[in-house]
A and B are shown apart, each in its own frame.
Chain A
Amino acid sequence: QKEVEQNSGPLSVPEGAIASLNCTYSDRGSQSFFWYRQYSGKSPELIMFIYSNGDKEDGRFTAQLNKASQYVSLLIRDSQPSDSATYLCAVNKNTGRRALTFGSGTRLQVQP
C-alpha cells in the first residue's frame, strides 16, 4: 500500500464548476497535510496546508481533513482553465522522517 494515494485522473470539469480532488494516507501518525500544484514542465508549488480536522478555506480553495478516515481533499470553486495542472497531496509525520511524502498526483483539466 502506498503511503499517499491519489487518483491519477485526468479529472475533467467545465469552467466555473467545483473540482474535488481526493487523497488518502496510510500512516495514522501523519500530522500535517499539504496540497501542491504542479504545472506541466514546472516545479511543484505549495497552495494550501491543513493540520486540524475540518475545513480550511483560502480564496477559491478549500482543504478538508478527516483524520479518522485518513482522508484529505481539496476543493477548487469556480474552476478556471488556469487551474489545469497536476495536484500533489503530501503528508508529514512530524516524527521520524521529517520530510514530506508525496502522492503521485491528480491531473486536473478545466474545460473552457
Chain B
Amino acid sequence: GAGVSQSPRYKVTKRGQDVALRCDPISGHVSLYWYRQALGQGPEFLTYFNYEAQQDKSGLPNDRFSAERPEGSISTLTIQRTEQRDSAMYRCASSPTGGGNTGELFFGEGSRLTVL
C-alpha cells in the first residue's frame, strides 16, 4: 500500500478481554515500530522490529503486552486481559532502513483503543 495501514481504527472492548492490533507497513520497509500516544502527549515507545526480529521491547509496559512480526512485514500488537489504563492511541510506524537511527518514521493513522 501507499502508506502504513493500521486496523482496526477504533476498538472498544470490555476490561479483561484480549485485543489484537494490526499494522501493515510500507512495502519494503525494514523497521517497524509500535508507539502509544495518550491525549496531549508525544508518542511513547513500546517495541521495534528489524525484519522479523524484535530488537527492543523495553517499552512494553508489562507482560500483558506482546508483539510479533513473523514474516518481516505485517505486525500484530496483542494486549491480554485489557485494563482501563490501556486506553490510548496505538501508533505503528515503519522506516526504510534498519537500525532505527534515521528518524524518518512513517506513521499510520493509529488504532484508538477504549477499554470500558
Enumerate chain A residues within 8 angstroms of B103, measured Cβ to Cβ. Answer: 32, 34, 46, 49, 90, 92, 100
A31 and B101 contacting across the interface, CB-CB below 8 Å: yes
Contact surface of B with A, Cβ cutoff 8 Å = 33, 35, 40-45, 48, 55-56, 58-59, 91, 99-105, 107-110
**A interface residue numbers (CB < 8 A to B):** 4, 8, 31-32, 34, 42-46, 49, 88, 90, 92, 94, 97-105
Bound-complex Cα distance A8 to B41 (A): 9
Tell me how many residue pairs across A and B have CB atoms closer than 8 Å: 66
- Which residues of B sit under 8 angstroms from A92, Cβ to Cβ? 100-101, 103
Would B45 and A99 count as touching, CB distance under 8 A?
Answer: yes
Pair A45/B107 contact, Cβ less than 8 Å: yes
Q: Looking at the assembled complex, report how far the CB atom of B91 sits from the nearest CB atom of chain A, in whole angstroms.
A: 6
Tell me if A98 and B41 are in contact (CB < 8 A). Answer: no
Q: Which residues on B sit within 8 Å (CB–CB) of A46?
A: 103-105
A44 touches B101 (CB 8 A): no
- Whether B110 contacts A102 by the Cβ 8 Å rule is no
Q: What are 5 A-B residue pairs whose CB atoms fall within 8 Å in the complex?
A: A32-B103, A44-B107, A46-B105, A99-B33, A100-B33
Q: Once the chains are docked, how many angstroms separate the CA of A95 from the CA of B56?
A: 12
* B28: min CB distance to chain A, Å: 18
* Neighbour of A43 across the interface among B44, B45, B102, B108, CB < 8 A: B108
**Residue contact B100 to A98, C-beta cutoff 8 Å:** yes
Contact, CB under 8 Å: B101 / A104: no
Query: A105 contacts which chain B residues (CB < 8 A)?
Result: 40-42
Minimum C-beta distance from B41 to chain A (A): 5
A8 to B110: give the CA distance in the assembly, Å: 22
Determine how close the nearest CB of chain A comes to the CB of B51; give it in whole angstroms: 14
Knowing A43-B108, A46-B105 are in contact, say whether A99-B41 is a contact too (CB < 8 A): no
A5 to chain B, nearest CB (A): 11
With A98-B55, A99-B48, A100-B105 known as contacts, the answer to whether A44 contacts B43 (CB < 8 A) is: yes
Q: Are A97 and B104 in contact (CB under 8 A)?
A: no
**Given known contacts A31-B101, A102-B43, A102-B44, what 12 new A-B pairs fall within 8 Å (CB)?**
A43-B107, A43-B108, A44-B43, A44-B105, A49-B103, A98-B99, A98-B100, A98-B101, A100-B100, A102-B42, A104-B40, A105-B41
